Structure 1
Amino acid sequence: MHLFYQPGGVTYLSEDDSRHAVKTLRLGIGDAIAVTDGHGNRHSAVITKADARQCTFRITETETTPERPFSIRIGVAPTKNLDRIEWFVEKAVEVGIERISFFYGQHSERRVLKLERLEKIAIAAMKQSLQSFLPQLDEAVSFSEMLKTVDEEQRFIAHLPPESLPDYLARAATAGGKYAVLVGPEGDFSDKEIEEAVRGGFQIVTLGSNRLRTETAALTACQILNFVNA
């Protein structure tokens, strides 16, 4: 069954989804669809008006998906090449993530980030992977401001200090927790940022022996935490 996204209380598809349903999928009156509000509710519905500008539907049944017993939040600095951060958002949503927080670090090369396109990518990935929860995407703020918003108990910062090898994230994380993992920009975190994070209760961890790009490291952290809870 085809899954569409529409916030609660609305019984018609967005213009883009209406066009996709009627023109591309060639769905008509009486055809069954599924609609999620992005908050865990998935509706079984039938099309009542097959209009490419505003396709309406009638809900026949609603199923509520419970939240996962753990949550993953990745704090990441936007990459200079925006395509890479878009790729991360898409894949992280497919793998499973609750929140993505963007920040500007001292060594960040990109200082402007518009969420509108990233939100569209997240919605498309949610629908493609047949999920009922849309992750929260936070506006980019300074590193210090982002740290103030972290209330997750298990806090990690991905960094390889030159003096010693820290613990692996897979060993440091405990199943069933609320996680926040920070991933720095292409130029890595500054010493001041590392110190600030450690004072804020973040544990320095490694994601492996290979040096990873920002978007690869962020996705790897997301995957590791999902595996820890598998």
Structure 2
Amino acid sequence: MHIFYTPDLTISEQSYQLNEEESKHCSRVLRLKKGDRINLVNGSGGFFLAEITDDNPKKTALSIISKEDGFKKSDHYLHIAVAPTKNIDRIEWFLEKATEIGIQEISPIICERSERKDVKVDRLEKIMVSAMKQSLKAYLPKLNKALPFKDFIKQNASAEHKFIAHCLPNQKEELANNFKKNSHYLILIGPEGDFSEKEIEIALENGFLPITLGESRLRTETAALQACFEVNYLNR
């Protein structure tokens, strides 16, 4: 069944009207007609079954048949802070796959060795919306604006379970060895050239635990996805 993203739809509404863009997609691209049924997700846990009552290509009207709040809500909260790659396609790939697997928040962080200093959030959010619908989820991950590394650490020093994945030969633990199920996790993933020694020092001083994501040397987006997978796997 076709899924539409309707961020302004509340769980209390009995009827709804698609915006012009979604109406056109519904009636002219998908050729759905009056009486056809579709699913709606609002990105904040609402999952709806609706029936088309008017297939107007500019303002398709719907009747809400059933609704569920907190649809497939996760018992844990994963926040990954990752340095944006020079090739933005690689971060787009990470966001798509992480949304499908399960992630609640992403923060681009600008590090000393970052090759990219700016991130256009609007395009990235569209990719996440598409991935949310593809994976039958009702929660859209929160995507924050890019922040310098030090500013991000300062703002998130009080996070519950904090980890930093880096490549220096310092003593590091497996994530599973310092893991508590159904908690709030924050994991830092650095740029291709890794975090600087100073950045690692700042993170450790603020209570971040150093972890390893395996013996392979991973690209930034692969490391971030590996961290996402591990957290979801350990919370099964």
* Corresponding residue of 1:2: 2
What is the rounded CA distance, in whole Å, between the counterparts of 1:169 and 1:16 in structure 2?
Answer: 44
The aligned residue for residue 13 of structure 2 is none
Aligned length: 229
The residue type paired with residue 140 of structure 1 is A
1:50 aligns with 2:55: yes
Q: Among the aligned pairs, what percent are the same residue?
A: 45
Amino acid aligned to 1:8: D
- For 2:77, the equivalent position in structure 1 comes to 71
Out of 136, 141, 144, the residue aligned to residue 147 of structure 2 is 141
Unaligned runs of 5+ in 1: none
Per mean C-alpha deviation after superposition, the further-off stretch among 165-174 and 132-141 is: 165-174
- Using the TM superposition, name which of 97-106 and 49-58 deviates more: 49-58
Contact 1:4 1:127 in 2 (8 A): yes
Provide the residue aligned with 1:161 in structure 2.
168
Amino acid at match of 1:137: L
Q: Does 1:21 align with 2:26?
A: yes
Alignment of 1:60-209 (within 5 A): 60-65=65-70, 67-150=73-156, 151-162=158-169, 164-209=170-215
Quote the Cα distance in structure 1 between the aligned partners of 2:114 and 2:56. 46
- Counterpart of 1:34 (choices 29, 39, 50) is 39
Residues 148 and 52 from structure 1, CA distance in 2 versus in 1: closer, same or farther, beyond 3 angstroms?
A: farther
TM-score, L = length of structure 2? 0.92
What is the alpha-carbon distance in structure 2 between the residues aligned to residue 39 and residue 188 of structure 1?
Answer: 34
Q: Distance in 2 between matches of 1:14 and 1:212?
A: 42
Give the unaligned 5+ runs of structure 2. 11-15
Please name the residue that 2:64 is paired with.
59
CA separation of 1:16/1:211 partners in 2, compared to 1, >3 Å: closer, same or farther? farther
Deviation at 1:165, TM superposition (A): 4.2
Cα offsets for 1:47-100 (capped at 9, x unmatched): 122233332212122111263211111000100000000000000000000000
CA contact (8 A) 1:160 1:166 kept: no
SS at 2:138 equivalent: coil
Indicate the SS of the match to 2:23.
helix
Q: Residues 99, 90 of structure 1: CA spacing in aligned structure 2 closer, same or farther, 3 A cutoff?
A: same
Going from structure 1 to structure 2, the CA distance change for 1:141 and 1:32 (only over 3 Å counts) comes to: same
Which letter maps to 1:147?
I
Name the residue aligned to 1:224.
230
Deviations 1:154-209 (A, max 9, x none): 100001322x4411123222211110000001111011110111111100000000
8 Å Cα contact 2:171-2:210 kept in structure 1: no
Structure 1 length normalisation: TM-score?
0.94
